[in-house]
Amino acid sequence: MANSADPAAPARAAIGHTVWPARVAREPVNQPMINAWCDAIGETNPRYRAGFAPAAMLPVWTMRKFTPDPARVEGMAILQPFDAAGYVGVAATNLEQEYLRELRLGERVTEEATLEAVSDEKKTALGSGFFLTILHEFRVDSGEVVGRMRFRILKFRAREMAATARPAVAAAPPGRLRPPVNRDNAFFWEGIAAGRLLVQRCTGCGTLRHPPGPMCPQCQSLEWDTVQSSGRGTLYSFVVAHHPPIPPFEYPLPILLVDMEEGWRLVANAFQIERPALEIGMPLAVEIVEVEPGFRLPFFVRAAGG
């Protein structure tokens, strides 16, 4: 990635946009997670044993789950240019939460996060860097907003850290093949890079189609636009590749064909779903994962209720 003069420019351009696809909590609000929170924090409020969740747990329900390989943890695409320019440090500095009502056992939380502001470069105790403010909105299945959170992070170049920047990637194993990008599918990969799953829509008859192509197979119109997918679908079919092993993929390698809920199909790898757990018809959701610095791909993960 080329370093522009201002590493914050791509982030500024993304203000007002979501920083990743909406996240659906894997588990509904539940007593075991509430108990773990209360045990750790020493909460003894009887209300948290009587069907209600601690308000401050608001962001916990949609937190990312553990993955043994830290390299596969998704980052925010908007942070990449900062990393590339040496601003590799990240620190949470401010947190604001607004609780519109209490969450009850059994409710499922969905979170949407929007980039709200990017500061000029500031000198701080940690080093020189940029503040980014992200607005998180939390809803339940009915669509009701139950809370909001404003999270400010500092993306900084630490004084010591700059000198001992991460070891070079020279020894890294071969990377993934990049998709061939052309005029038909550029929107799709640009969307993925920005954390959004887009699908092509014929503006003649409204039919969605994928993989992208120049002409609608239904009405032969050449006019099209794109819409953002919910990322949710159900497993239509799959294969598990065993041989020949091609770096850098890990085998056995499940390759899924998924009926998306808007009525199109998408092929992608599974993320953290082993072969025995795959069942035709199981609910899945797209998660966009940064597989290599600056390179993101869609994967399917288990969806809420799956």
Strand-pair partners of 18: 114
Question: Residue from 2, 39, 183, 247 that binds other proteins (CB under 8 A)?
Answer: 39
Q: What share of the chain is helix, strand, coil (3-state, %, to 5)?
A: 15, 35, 45
Establish if 44 lies at the interface with other proteins (CB under 8 A): yes
The single residue listed with the structure tokens 């009926």 is 259
List the one residue from 6, 22, 30, 43 that touches other proteins (CB under 8 A): 43
The DSSP call for residue 79 is G
* Binds other proteins (CB under 8 A): choice among 51, 59, 294, 306: 59
CA 65 to chain CA centroid, Å, is 12
How many whole angstroms separate alpha carbon 18 and alpha carbon 78? 10
Q: Is 47 in the site for other proteins (CB under 8 A)?
A: yes
Contact flags string 60-79 toward other proteins, x per CB under 8 A: x--xxxxx--x--x------
Tokens of 191: 């969307």
Listed ranges 76-84, 87-95, 178-186, 240-248: which one lies at the site for other proteins (CB under 8 A): 87-95
- Among 160, 168, 180, 276, which residue interacts with other proteins (rule: CB under 8 A)? 160
Tell me if 184 contacts other proteins by CB under 8 A: no
Could you tell me which of 187, 185, 184, 208 has the C-alpha nearest to residue 196? 187
Answer for which of 2, 5, 40, 177 binds other proteins (CB under 8 A) is 40
With beta carbons less than 8 A apart as the criterion, state whether 15 and 95 touch: no
Is residue 31 close enough to count as binding other proteins by CB under 8 A? no
Q: Which of 15, 22, 37, 128 binds other proteins (CB under 8 A)?
A: 37
